[in-house]
């Protein structure tokens, strides 16, 4: 089997993997030095990233090289590179570890990205609750600045680049790139309507590229070892290794950086398999917004953008939520529905009004007060939200509802008919509302 | 609580130390974009104001950042990390989202509620703890987990929770 | 231009358009709530979702740009399903309290729910309830009805220039409001009533008063400032129930000021004079019109016969119509007097013949200018719509400078505001003129002589450069400057600067004063005589037309004294006021603006005629009819008008016959320095408070309750000035001006020019004082009590 942890987690074997010294031991900042020394052409870097088949690691999976190519990099005036470290999709906790254990690789990736798209300033938007990662990242910034990788005329190249941390303050929606920009501008995190896209009109109205933490942290490794090397780590169109957050009912929950295309069964084994005495029931493969996949389909699925797509779901951020046969799907969906209700920014009518409606109906079903027409109503409401909002939060709220009912309708129906759960529960069930 | 000046000319607001911290944030953004500093600024002010944001505090910040007052309120009420009412000295934020729920966050919740004698959103009568149920904090591989002030605690068990709370002064 | 198709109809549209704009232009209806043609695009309500070929999901018509070959379907299955879905979401948390909602019958949600809503709700959960907010005396909130379209929020930021409302909280808990309770401060705030598509923001004074379908809309013109905004009077029975804007892109677009919206409330005030009355042996007696009119004519005749014809003085409010003005002066001239004026607040008229008094500027000219110098103008309160256009110019990059006696937040990007005393203001204007002469040595010799000692400072040079570099600069001379004792000099200098910088000069007219100029409601020698002078001369017989001397004069003390000493006073007035009650001998009750027909001429020079919407209140009569009878009774020839339009036509004919106004070439002579003052004197700075400019406004209770109006009762002074005068701790002040004494609350305000005391005019307080810009002494009230 291929060696794990070859990209973002490549320093993980060190005692203090986050130091500049240790990062240098794996070749850190060599790529940056080379680029600045050779004055590598920006289009060449973009070409390499394109060839690597690196796709956005934050959820949407958009090809990174293509995204960079959209930037009007020759246009005069300020341009920005922004890193999206507002990790908050339930089931996702990889960016936190990248910043805790390999912050320099992210910094190097951001400097290279800034160079490539013609930006002289970058911001890393880190969710506010990440006190430790913020501190680590800030320390790394100090080290990088002292080493001459940040500031004016970096390494005598004439290239200027400043990088700052910007904390969030508790809003999932800021992980949406335009909401993040609004937040960075000191406003509520309400997504912008697109077009215009950030590449044309981004931070402060200037051209801006926004990438996920893992995406940017992958860049130095790609350029160090070559696009082909990276591409071949994964499968065609699904280049590289990717961190999967294995959570839920597994024996060894954790972040696993593995080749894209690895069969789910193998990944599950890495994570220690499902709990003793239980059977796999279902998996949410990419974070709570991606459709749930029943066990039998999942066990046949390859962990890649295309593979999971074929299984009717999405790779998303690589947040694999494993549910065994003790899971009540109504209760699980209720919790997920509450999340989107709580996190809706309130801007668009369907999401503002619809997410609360969804949650309340599912809450009623979970609490034994379901009505016969509820399931069709849920599907209908979800479909009326789906695709009808400015950002994808509406879709994210709708997808679990539709997929849970599609695959586990009998369980929901049982709840409505009997006022209780089909699955035996550890805890006695009482009337309960979140929030 | 830090003694702060909340009215008067901009250059006298808050304290010299806080002004310096705010200014260092403002300096991170391009000229004319001081509003960008509102989120970190609110964090700083909350920290120096017993963990919550009063209206006079936010009004002063509006002056300091040259923002419309209502724009500060919009931000302060949008993000969950800001407290708009006085809270306990320590905040316990328990995640109950899906990965934590699958790993038993409900047990932890009832344990915490029993032990502290309060429900979610409430503060203990001695003003020591405020308990909140929060959304995913991005530490799902350590589920169930909680955030106590600035510290993540993962792989919680009732016994571990006891030890954590006992360690709080 | 691109070719698109909407519902199968081929259209050629500008490529900058969104689908909804193209549809609107073609008259194709697309439902919407958040979209408004004058506001930025929010795309949040999602009601305008339409199907666009090649798009896998429905797209918001308001935010989707047209592209070549685009095919749009507004009523396809996909579009209708999306729109119905949105409507259902909007309604689940809406209270559906239409029967008790003021918006009922004109509610966009109600209207669209008829087309897109369902009869029965599928929502069986609890509905959201939101607490109401008190946002002042003008606007009622009922926030449970809010559908979060954010039009009101965007209006604040984008049009009013002051963000007072916001959306706090998030998701389902998002609420529109001020968060910290306070009255809205914008002078345009009432527009959010019209913008709100539902009944969340409604007119507070109109609350529960009438239903939309019970009222008839009557087009009219707002008379309170020189803009002449197009309005609609909504009438039920014989009562004006409310006023709303009428779209007029070239004047007020789709907005009106709060002043124009809420002035109608004064129509029913208990002060309203609704019967002709005459005073006999000091007691007011009701009488019939015939008796009152004859009493008027005889009374005037008697005084004139006894004291001379020129002892008759006629003063008219600048809010009077063109027709009223014409008949007023025609009648009085027929009685043999030339002492007629409508320029009630001017103290300096030496430049009366100058052409700039008649400069016509369109609102578009103002919005399209690239540099503005405001001189002595509180533009936001004087003419809110002009302020709005200047703001739009500023947002488009125009450079705004202001020289004034005080600084008020203009709510727009400004280069600089100078808050200076009278001497400095004049010095600065001279400096700018001299700086321009150096660039453009074209000014005539007399001016060069007048300005020979002036050396411009850097500020003046700066302004001069900005004006000279601009392609379309505008200078605005406002009320503070126009009412100044050196106003003619200020205006002449402004005109000189304007000529040299090839700009436009706007001497901001008061209300309908353009029309009254044309109607010749002026003395025979308008550049040497004026209302202010006449008051001082204490004429024996007075005819007042909607004039309340204690409020409508530059020097209330002198006017009051003259009233007291007059032998015979005729008040053709709408309201009773103290001075009318005490000193008039006849009151001829006058119809108000909604009750009469006439013509209004604003700063754009356009003649806007309107008709009455309701019958005059009580026994009051339209001014032109009263004056017609007075003319006939006085045997003045050619007074046989059948309709007010006859009068207008006669004026129009006489104007075409007249030759154009000659430029009088007024050049000030030295010395023009402000009266010598000792260290313990302050300059009294005064303009008319926004909601005190005419008799009707002063009776609009809702406007009187606004914080803006309350502040007009307070005197303001720079803290340094207060320090010098030992007033730093004073909360109340005694102001002395000659014989006049006033006790008033004091506020220290660094935006007031040093050495000055600012107290707005036409209030209960200012009526106790003498002339604006006079010298006053001040002392703290406590100190007096101690002594």
Q: Given a cut of 50, is residue A130 above it in pLDDT?
A: yes
Q: CA of A324, closest CA in chain B: separation in Å?
A: 9
CA B8 to CA B15: how far, in whole Å? 12
Q: Given a cut of 80, is residue C407 above it in pLDDT?
A: yes
Return the pLDDT at C787. Answer: 46
- Give the residue on C whose Cα is nearest the Cα of B69: C164
Residue A85: strand pairing partners: A126
Return the pLDDT at A112. Answer: 98
Query: pLDDT tens, C647-684?
Result: 999 999 988 766 555 566 788 886 555 555 667 899 99
Contact B74 C165 (CB under 8 A): no
In the block, tokens 């559906």 appear at C96
Return the pLDDT at C449. Answer: 87
CA C41 to CA C151: how far, in whole Å? 10
Chains that touch A (3 or more CB pairs under 8 A): B, C
Chains that touch C (3 or more CB pairs under 8 A): A, B
Is A205 an 8 Å CB contact of chain B? no
Non-local (6+) Cβ contacts of C42 within 8 A are A193, A347, C34, C35, C149, C150, C154
Is C768 an 8 Å CB contact of chain B? no
Token pair of C473 as six digits:
């600069």
Query: pLDDT tens, C685-721?
Result: 999 999 999 999 999 999 999 999 999 999 999 999 9
SS3 per residue for C347-410: CCCCCCCCHHHHCCCCHHHHHHCCEEEEECCCHHHHCHHHHHHHHHHHHCCCEEEEEECECCCC
Q: Name the nearest CA neighbour of C609 among C328, C230, C217.
A: C230
Tell me the H-state helices in C237-383.
258-262, 289-307, 322-334, 363-368, 379-382
Return the pLDDT at A427. Answer: 56
> What proportion of chain C, given as a percentage, has pLDDT over 70?
97
- Give the residue on C whose Cα is nearest the Cα of B75: C168
Residues of C in contact with B70 (CB under 8 A): 163-166, 168, 178-179
Q: What is the DSSP letter of A379?
A: H
Grade residue C215 by pLDDT with cuts at 50, 70 and 90.
very high
- Give the residue on B whose Cα is nearest the Cα of A254: B141
CA B117 to CA B126: how far, in whole Å? 11
Contact C167 B55 (CB under 8 A): no
Average pLDDT of chain C? Answer: 94
Residues of C in contact with A383 (CB under 8 A): 85
Token pair of A256 as six digits:
């696993």
Grade residue C452 by pLDDT with cuts at 50, 70 and 90.
confident
Return the pLDDT at C127. Answer: 93
Of C58, C81, C93, the CB nearest to A353: C93
Non-local (6+) Cβ contacts of C449 within 8 A are none
Residues of A in contact with C86 (CB under 8 A): 349-350, 384, 388
Which whole number is the average pLDDT over C726-753?
94
Is C487 an 8 Å CB contact of chain A? no
Which whole number is the average pLDDT over C423-433?
96
Return the pLDDT at C421. Answer: 95
Interface test with A, best of B34, B58, B75, B102 (most A CBs within 10 A): B102
Q: Given a cut of 90, is residue A431 above it in pLDDT?
A: no
Residues of B in contact with A189 (CB under 8 A): 78-79
Residue B47: strand pairing partners: none
Query: pLDDT tens, C348-383?
Result: 999 998 999 988 999 999 999 999 999 999 999 999
Is C533 an 8 Å CB contact of chain A? no
Average pLDDT of chain A? Answer: 95
ipTM of the complex, rounded to two decimals: 0.97
Return the pLDDT at C119. Answer: 83
- CB burial of residue B154 (10 Å; 0-12, 13-18, 19+): middle
Q: Given a cut of 50, is residue A142 above it in pLDDT?
A: yes
Is A353 an 8 Å CB contact of chain C? yes
CA A386 to CA C243: how far, in whole Å? 42
Of B28, B78, B97, the CB nearest to A171: B78
Does the bond joining C346 to the residue before it have cis omega, within 30 degrees of 0? no
Contact C162 B77 (CB under 8 A): no
- Give the residue on A whose Cα is nearest the Cα of B102: A248
Asked if C327 and C516 count as a contact pair (C-beta separation under 8 A), the reply is no
Contact A349 C58 (CB under 8 A): no
Return the pLDDT at C443. Answer: 60
Residues 252-281 of A with CB under 8 A from B: 253-255
SS3 per residue for A294-310: EHHHHCCCEECHHHHHH
Of B37, B138, B143, the CB nearest to A186: B37
Return the pLDDT at A3. Answer: 87
Q: CA of B114, closest CA in chain A: separation in Å?
A: 15
C670 or C396: which leads in pLDDT: C396
Return the pLDDT at A391. Answer: 96
Return the pLDDT at C675. Answer: 55
Ramachandran angles phi, psi of C316, nearest 5°? -130, 140
Query: pLDDT tens, C531-575?
Result: 999 999 999 999 999 999 999 999 999 999 999 999 999 999 999
Residues 151-190 of C with CB under 8 A from B: 162-170, 178-180
Return the pLDDT at C783. Answer: 54
Grade residue A237 by pLDDT with cuts at 50, 70 and 90.
confident
Q: Given a cut of 70, is residue C622 above it in pLDDT?
A: yes
Is C12 an 8 Å CB contact of chain A? no
Residue A140's Cβ-side half-sphere holds a number of Cα atoms within 13 Å equal to 33
pTM of the full structure: 0.95
Return the pLDDT at C676. Answer: 59
């Amino acid at each position: 089997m291929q060696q794990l942890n070859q990209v973002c987690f490549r320093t993980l074997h060190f005692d203090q993997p986050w130091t500049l010294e240790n990062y240098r031991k794996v070749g850190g900042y060599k790529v940056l030095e080379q680029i600045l020394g050779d004055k590598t052409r920006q289009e060449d870097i973009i070409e390499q990233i394109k060839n690597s088949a690196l796709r956005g690691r934050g959820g949407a999976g958009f090809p990174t090289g293509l995204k960079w190519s959209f930037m009007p990099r020759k246009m005069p005036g300020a341009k920005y590179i922004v890193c999206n470290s507002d990790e908050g999709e339930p089931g996702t906790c990889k960016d936190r570890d990248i910043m805790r254990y390999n912050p320099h690789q992210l910094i190097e990736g951001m400097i290279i990205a800034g160079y490539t798209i013609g930006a002289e300033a970058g911001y890393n938007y880190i969710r506010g609750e990440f006190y430790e990662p913020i501190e680590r990242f800030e320390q790394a910034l100090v080290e990088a600045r002292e080493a001459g990788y940040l500031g004016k005329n970096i390494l005598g190249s004439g290239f200027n680049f400043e990088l700052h941390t910007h904390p969030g303050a508790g809003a999932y929606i800021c992980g949406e790139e335009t909401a993040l920009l609004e937040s960075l501008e000191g406003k509520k995190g309400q997504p912008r309507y697109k077009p215009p896209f950030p590449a044309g009109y981004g931070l402060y109205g200037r051209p801006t590229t926004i990438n996920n933490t893992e995406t940017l942290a992958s860049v130095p490794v790609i350029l160090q070892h070559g696009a082909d090397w990276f591409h071949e780590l994964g499968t065609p169109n699904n280049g590289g290794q990717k961190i999967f957050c294995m959570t839920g009912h597994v024996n060894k929950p954790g972040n696993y950086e593995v080749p894209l295309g690895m069969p789910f069964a193998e990944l599950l084994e890495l994570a220690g398999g499902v709990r003793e005495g239980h059977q796999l029931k279902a998996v949410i493969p990419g974070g709570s917004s991606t459709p749930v996949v029943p066990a039998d389909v999942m066990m046949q699925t390859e962990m890649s953008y295309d593979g999971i797509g074929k299984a009717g779901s999405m790779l998303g951020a690589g947040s694999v939520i494993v549910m065994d046969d003790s899971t009540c799907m109504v209760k699980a969906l209720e919790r997920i529905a509450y999340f989107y209700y709580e996190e809706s920014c309130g801007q668009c009518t369907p999401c503002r009004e619809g997410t609360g409606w969804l949650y309340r109906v599912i809450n009623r079903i979970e609490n034994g007060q379901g009505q016969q027409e509820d399931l069709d109503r849920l599907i209908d409401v979800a479909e009326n939200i789906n695709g009808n909002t400015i950002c994808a939060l509406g879709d994210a709220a709708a997808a679990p509802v539709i997929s849970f009912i599609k695959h586990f309708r009998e369980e929901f129906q049982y709840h409505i008919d009997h006022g209780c759960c089909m699955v035996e529960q550890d805890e006695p069930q009482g009337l309960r509302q979140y929030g | 609580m830090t003694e702060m000046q909340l009215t008067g000319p901009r250059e006298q607001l808050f304290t010299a130390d806080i002004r310096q911290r705010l200014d260092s944030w403002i300096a991170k953004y391009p000229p004319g974009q001081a509003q960008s500093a509102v989120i970190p600024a609110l964090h700083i002010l909350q920290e120096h104001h017993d963990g919550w944001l009063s209206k006079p505090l936010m009004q002063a910040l509006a002056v300091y950042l040259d923002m419309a007052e209502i724009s500060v309120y919009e931000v302060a009420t949008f993000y969950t990390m800001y407290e708009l009412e006085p809270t306990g000295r320590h905040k316990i934020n328990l995640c109950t989202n899906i990965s934590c729920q699958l790993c038993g966050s409900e047990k932890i919740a009832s344990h915490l509620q029993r032990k502290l004698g309060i429900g979610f959103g409430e503060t203990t009568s001695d003003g020591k703890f405020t308990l909140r149920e929060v959304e995913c904090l991005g530490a799902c591989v350590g589920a169930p987990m909680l955030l106590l002030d600035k510290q993540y605690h993962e792989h919680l068990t009732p016994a571990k929770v006891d030890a954590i709370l006992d360690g709080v002064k | 231009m691109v070719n698109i198709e909407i519902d199968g109809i081929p259209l050629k549209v500008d490529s900058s358009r969104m689908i909804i704009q193209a549809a609107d232009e073609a008259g194709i209806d697309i439902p919407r709530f958040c979209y408004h043609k004058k506001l930025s695009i929010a795309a949040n309500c999602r009601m305008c979702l339409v199907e666009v070929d090649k798009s896998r999901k429905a797209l918001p018509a308001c935010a989707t740009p047209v592209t070549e070959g685009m095919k749009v379907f507004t009523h396809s299955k996909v579009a209708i399903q999306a729109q119905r879905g949105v409507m259902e979401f909007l309604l689940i948390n809406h209270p559906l309290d239409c029967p008790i909602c003021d918006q009922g019958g004109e509610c966009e949600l109600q209207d669209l729910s008829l087309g897109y809503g369902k009869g029965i709700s599928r929502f069986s959960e609890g509905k959201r309830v939101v607490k109401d907010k008190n946002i002042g005396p003008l606007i009622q909130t009922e926030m449970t009805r809010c559908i979060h379209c954010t039009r009101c929020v965007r209006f604040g930021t984008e049009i009013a220039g002051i963000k007072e409302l916001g959306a706090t909280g998030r998701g389902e808990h998002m609420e529109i409001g001020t968060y910290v309770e306070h009255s809205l401060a914008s002078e345009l705030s009432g527009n959010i009533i019209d913008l709100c598509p539902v009944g969340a923001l409604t007119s507070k004074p109109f609350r529960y008063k009438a239903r939309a379908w019970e009222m008839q809309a009557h087009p009219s013109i707002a008379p309170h400032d020189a803009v002449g905004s197009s309005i609609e009077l909504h009438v039920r029975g014989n009562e004006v129930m409310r006023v709303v804007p009428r779209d007029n892109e070239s004047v007020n677009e789709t907005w009106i000021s709060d002043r124009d919206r809420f002035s109608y409330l004064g129509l029913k005030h208990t002060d309203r004079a609704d019967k002709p009355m005459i005073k006999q042996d000091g007691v007011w007696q009701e009488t019939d019109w015939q008796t009152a009119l004859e009493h008027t004519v005889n009374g005037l005749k008697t005084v004139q016969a006894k004291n001379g014809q020129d002892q008759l003085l006629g003063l008219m409010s600048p809010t009077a119509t063109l027709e009223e003005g014409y008949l007023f002066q025609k009648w009085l001239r027929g009685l043999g007097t030339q002492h007629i004026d409508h320029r009630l607040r001017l103290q300096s008229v030496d430049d009366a013949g100058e052409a700039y008094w008649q400069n016509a500027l369109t609102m578009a000219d103002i919005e399209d200018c690239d540099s503005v110098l405001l001189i002595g103008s509180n533009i936001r309160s004087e003419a809110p719509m002009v302020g709005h256009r200047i703001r739009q110019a500023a947002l488009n990059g125009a450079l705004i400078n202001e020289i004034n006696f005080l600084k008020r937040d203009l709510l727009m990007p400004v280069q600089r505001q100078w808050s200076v005393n009278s001497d400095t203001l004049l010095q600065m204007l001279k400096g700018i003129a001299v700086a321009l002469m150096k660039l453009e040595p074209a000014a005539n010799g007399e001016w060069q002589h007048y300005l020979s000692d002036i050396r411009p400072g850097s500020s003046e040079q700066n302004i001069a450069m900005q004006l000279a570099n601009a392609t379309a600069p505008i200078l605005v001379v406002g009320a503070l400057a126009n009412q100044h004792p050196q106003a003619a000099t200020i205006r002449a200098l402004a005109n000189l600067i304007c000529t040299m910088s090839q700009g436009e000069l706007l001497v901001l007219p008061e209300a309908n004063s353009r029309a009254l100029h044309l109607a010749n409601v002026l003395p025979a020698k308008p550049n040497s005589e004026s209302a202010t002078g006449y008051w001082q001369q204490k004429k024996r017989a007075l005819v007042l037309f909607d004039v309340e001397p204690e409020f409508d004069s530059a020097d209330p003390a002198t006017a009051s004294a003259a009233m007291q000493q007059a032998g015979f006073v005729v008040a053709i007035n709408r309201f009773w006021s103290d001075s009318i009650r005490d000193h008039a001998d006849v009151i001829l009750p006058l119809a108000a603006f909604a009750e009469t027909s006439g013509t209004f001429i604003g700063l754009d020079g356009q003649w806007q005629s309107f008709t009455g919407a309701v019958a005059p209140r009580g026994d009051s009569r339209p001014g032109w009819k009263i004056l017609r009878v007075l003319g006939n009774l006085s045997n003045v020839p050619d007074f046989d008008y059948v309709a007010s339009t006859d009068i207008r036509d006669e004026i129009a004919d006489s104007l075409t016959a007249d030759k154009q106004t000659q430029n009088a070439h007024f050049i000030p002579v030295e010395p023009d320095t402000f009266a010598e003052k000792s260290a313990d004197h302050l300059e009294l700075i005064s303009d008319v408070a926004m909601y005190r400019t005419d008799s009707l406004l002063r009776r609009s209770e809702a406007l009187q309750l606004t914080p803006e109006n309350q502040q007009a009762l307070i005197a303001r002074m720079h803290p340094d000035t207060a320090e010098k005068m030992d007033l730093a701790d004073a909360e109340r002040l005694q102001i002395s001006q000659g014989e006049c004494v006033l006790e008033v609350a004091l506020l220290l305000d660094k935006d007031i020019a040093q050495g000055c005391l600012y107290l707005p005019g036409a209030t209960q307080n200012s009526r106790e004082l003498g002339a604006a810009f006079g010298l006053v002494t001040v002392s703290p009230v406590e100190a007096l009590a101690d002594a």
